[in-house]
Amino acid sequence: MKFFILAALFAVAAADSYRSAEYAPKYEAPAYKSTYEAKYETPQPYDFSWAVNDYYNDYSHSERSDGKVTTGSYRVVLPDGRTQIVTYKADSYGYVADVKYTGEAKYPEYVANNYKATTYSAPAYTAPTYSAPAPAPAYTTTPVYKAPVVQPQY
């Protein structure tokens, strides 16, 4: 009996002095980054421009950034003959665009259509004739149903 009391006393003393926070496993996020994240994590200064001018298309775009403020413009020739020019600035306060149009809209001149509707006569065929459906067959005898016989099961 003395042994059990002594063992209980040691268990209480050991439990009081145990520091679980020091020995608990610690889980941390992995310390790696992909090469894409490492390369593009911070804003990079850049500058580009391009233009297309062929038979069907006429537009251009240019943009410049110092990593904090982005400025640029693009222009496009609209189908009505005007040129739309958009100049913009984007920074931590938002995106501000200035849209201008140069030239005058030109639309094709309206030409009245000289279309004359042609009248057609009724079709020259006769409607098909249908005969009455055949009568349903007459039953001469009435079917007889018998109740099923239930066999006892042992």
Percent above pLDDT 90 for the chain: 29
Per-residue pLDDT reduced to its tens digit, 61-93 = 999 999 889 999 999 999 888 999 999 999 989
pLDDT, the chain, mean: 82
Q: What is the value of pTM for the model shown?
A: 0.46
Q: Hey, which bits of the chain come out as E strands?
A: 46-53, 58-65, 70-77, 83-91, 94-102
Domain ranges of the chain: 44-104
Per-residue pLDDT reduced to its tens digit, 9-34 = 777 766 655 566 666 677 777 666 66
